[in-house]
Amino acid sequence: MRRFATLLDTLLLTRSRLGKIAAIVRTLREMPDPDRGWALAALTGGVDFPAIKGGTIRALLAGRVDPVLWALSRDFVGDTAETACLLWPEPPGDPGPQPSLTEVVERLTHATRADAPTILADLLDRLDESGRYALLKFATGALRIGVSARLAKVAFAEAFGVEVELVEEYWHGQAPPYTALFAWAADGAVAPSSDLVPLFRPFMLSSPLEYGTLDLSEFVAEWKWDGIRVQLVHVAGQTRLYSRGGDDISAAFPEMIGALNVPAVLDGELMVRGEAQGFSTGVGAASFNALQQRLGRKTVSAKMLAEAPAFLRVYDLLLADGADLRPLPWHERRVLLDAFVGRLDRIYFDVSPLIDVADWDALAELRASARDAAIEGIMFKHRQSPYVAGRRVGLWYKWKRDPLLIDCVLMYAQAGSGKRSGLYSDFTFGCWTGDPDHGGELVPVGKAYFGFTDAELKDLDRHVRHHTVAKYGPVRETDKSLVFEVAFDSVHASKRHKSGVAMRFPRINRIRHDKPAHEADLLASLVALIAD
C-alpha cells in the first residue's frame, strides 16, 4: 500500500503529462503482482467497492473526532478523504504491519454495509497519513489525480515496450488485476485470447485535410456522418455496442443488440432514423440532437424506442465469420462489407455510400450543399489501406464542413454570475501541441460560456465539481477528460495568448461524451485555419 500511496502523491504533485507517465511506468515495473494490477485498475476506474461510500467515512469519523472540529476542518479543507486522513487518531497500541494493496482490495470487495466501518477502521489504523489518504480515495473511487484511462494504458505500453494499440486490443477482455495482460507484456507469455468474448477493437482514425492536397485517383470519398462512431460486436452468441472510447453503451440501444446475430465486428456511425436526405441511399438520418436524447441512459422506454429508433450506417467490416479482415486493403473489405450488410435487416443497417465525384471543385460544391444534412464533412480513404489502429499518415483523412469546428478538451472552469451564480459556466478548453501519446501537451486555445442548454449546464457543473484536480482562487482545473466540439467564426494569430491563436466568437457546439480526450484536435489543426 505504501508504494501505491507514493504513486498517488507523485501524480497529484506532477503537472506534466510525461511526468505522470514516468511515475506510472516506474510503479508498474517495480511493484509486484498482483498489487500492480490493482494499482492499474484504480487508475483506470476498473474496481468498485459498493459498501464504501462517503457517508461511511463520515460516520466512522463521528465516533472518533469531535463533531465541531470535524465540521470546521471539512469546511476548511474541502475534501472528505483529506480531512479524515489528517484527523484520524493514532491507534493506542501496535496495529500490525501495513496492508498490501491486494489485502485492501480483498477485504473491501467482500465488505458489507454492516462490517465496512470495522474493516475500514482496521486498515486506517495500520496506515500512515499518506496511506490513509490513498486508501480513502481508492475505496470511494474518487482519485481525481489528472490521469485518464488512456494515459494509464500509454504508461503500461511504455513500461513493457509494447504497442499501445495492442494494449487496447487485449485490455477489454481482461479483469483486474490483469494477470494475463502483465504476463504477456512483462514476461513474454502468449497474448490473451479474444476469440470467445465480444471485445472492443481500437478504431482506425483519420487526419485533418486541406483542400486539394490528395491525389483523388488513389482515394475514395464518402460522407462523414453526424452521429457517434461505434463498434457493434457479435461473438459466441453475445453482442455488445461500444463507443469510440471503448465504453459499453449496449443498454442505451437495445434494438441494435438484437439486430446483429452473426459473428462480426462492424465499424459505423450510430444515428437515429429521420427524414431521408438527398445524400443518402439508405435509411434517412435525423440530426445529432435526436440521438443525444438517448446517450448515457441505462434503460430506454418503449416510447423513446418508438420516437427515436437507432440504426447503424456501416463504414467498415473488421471481422466476419471468424476471419480477421483488418489486414486486407480497403477495396477488398468494401466488397465484403457490401455483401455482409446485404444479409442484415435494412431497418437497422445500411452502408455509408461513396461519393462519385472526381475533382476537388465538384467535391467542394457538394460538401457545401450538404450543410443541412446529417453530415459533418467528407472522408477520404486510400484504396489500399488496411484497417490499422490509431491515426496513420497517408491512409484516412477527414475534411470537415463549415462552420469552423474543432474538438477541444475542457481544462479550467469558473463560476458565472447573475442567474448562473454558483454554477460553473465559464469554460476554458485546449488543444494538443502534438500526439498526446508521444509528449503532446494541452494548451488553452479559447474560452466559452454559452452554446449549451440549462440541463447541459447542470451536467457540466456536476462534471467540474467531480473532476477537479486543482484550485486557483475562483478557477478550478479539471482532469482533462471531457471533450467539447467548439464552433467559431474565425481564428487569428495572437501574441497575447500562449497558444499563439485567438478564436473569434467561440461557443460550445456539442459536448462530446462519446469522444476520449486523446482524440481531440491538435493545435496545428487550429493554426491551419488562420486566414491569410
Write out 13-72 in H/E/C secondary structure.
Answer: HCCCHHHHHHHHHHHHHHCCCCHHHHHHHHHCCCCCCCCCCHHHHHHHHHCCCCHHHHHH
**Domain-terminating residue out of 352, 385, 400:** 400
> In this structure, are 488 and 518 located in the same domain?
yes
Looking at residue 505, its pLDDT comes to 86
Listed residues 400, 421, 452: the one ending a domain: 400
CATH at residue 345:
3.30.470.30
Same domain for 218 and 314, yes or no, is yes
- 508 is a domain residue: yes
Of 140, 162, 181, the last residue of a domain is: 140
Do 379 and 326 lie in a common domain?
yes
357-365 long-range Cβ contacts below 8 angstroms, 24+ apart: 357/221, 358/216, 359/216, 360/211, 360/212, 360/216, 363/216, 363/221, 364/211
| 168 found inside a domain | no
The Cα–Cα gap between 397 and 208 comes to 6
- pLDDT value, residue 366: 85
Examine residue 169 and state whether it is found in any structural domain, yes or no: no
Residues 349 and 424 occupy one common structural domain: no
Which CATH number fits the domain that encloses residue 426?
A: 2.40.50.140
Residue at grid coordinates 502534438: 434
Q: 204-205 and 390-391 as β-strands: parallel, antiparallel, unpaired? A: parallel
DSSP string, 117-164: HHHHHHHHHTS-HHHHHHHHHHHHT---SS--HHHHHHHHHHHHT--H
Helix (H, G, I), strand (E, B) or coil at 311: strand
Range of the domain at 16: 2-140
Q: Is residue 249 part of a domain?
A: yes
- For 398, the grid coordinates are 477527414
Q: Which of 20, 137, 153, 224 is catalytic?
A: 224
- Residue 175 falls inside a structural domain: no
In tens digits, what is the pLDDT along the chain, a chain of 532 residues? 999 999 999 998 898 899 999 999 999 999 999 999 999 999 988 888 999 988 888 888 888 899 899 888 887 877 888 899 999 998 888 888 999 999 999 999 999 999 999 999 999 999 999 999 999 999 988 787 878 888 999 999 999 999 998 998 888 888 999 999 999 999 999 998 777 778 899 999 999 888 888 999 999 999 988 889 999 999 989 999 999 888 899 999 999 999 999 999 999 999 998 765 444 445 677 767 678 778 878 788 898 888 889 999 999 999 998 899 999 999 999 999 999 999 999 999 999 999 987 789 999 888 877 655 567 789 999 999 999 998 888 999 999 877 789 999 999 999 887 677 778 999 999 999 999 988 899 999 999 998 999 899 999 999 999 999 999 888 999 999 999 999 997 788 888 888 999 888 899 999 999 999 999 999 999 998 886 4
The radius of gyration computed from the CA coordinates of the chain, to the nearest angstrom, equals 25
Give the pLDDT of residue 24.
97
Do 333 and 466 belong together in one domain? no
pLDDT of residue 326: 96
Q: What is the pLDDT of residue 147?
A: 85
Instruction: Give the pLDDT of residue 275.
Output: 64
What separation, in Å, do the N-terminal and C-terminal C-alpha atoms of the chain show? Answer: 57
Strand pairing class (349-351; 310-320): parallel
Whether 408 and 396 map to the same domain: the answer is: no
| Same-domain check for residues 289 and 330 | yes
- Cβ proximity of 253 and 310 under 8 Å: yes
236-241-247-248 Cα dihedral, nearest 10 degrees: -70
pTM, whole model, 2 decimals?
Answer: 0.77
308 plus 452 within the same structural domain: no
Question: Are residues 348 and 218 both part of a single domain?
Answer: yes
Q: State phi, psi for 48 to the nearest 5 degrees.
A: -145, 140
Sequence-ordered alpha helix ranges (H) in 162-250: 164-171, 179-187
SS3 category, 271: strand
Residue 31 vs residues 20, 21, 25: alpha-carbon distances, Å: 16, 15, 10
What one-character DSSP code corresponds to residue 416? B
Please give the sequence-ordered ranges of beta strands (E in DSSP) within 164-256, or none if there are none. 204-205, 207-208, 219-225, 228-235, 238-243
Q: Are 244 and 377 part of one and the same domain?
A: yes
What's the CA gap between 290 and 182, in Å, rounded? 42
The yes-or-no answer on residue 137 being catalytic is no
Strand-pair category, 396-400 with 207-208: parallel
- State how many domains the chain has: 3
Same domain, 359 and 414: no
The answer to whether position 197 is within a domain reads no
In a domain? residue 198: no
Neighbours of 63 (CB within 10 A): 9
pLDDT for the residue numbered 260? 95
Q: Are residues 241 and 384 in the same domain?
A: yes
Query: What is the Cα–Cα distance from 286 to 273, expressed in whole angstroms?
Result: 5
Vertex 161 angle, CA 42 and 37, to 5°: 20
| Domain assignment of residue 500, yes or no | yes
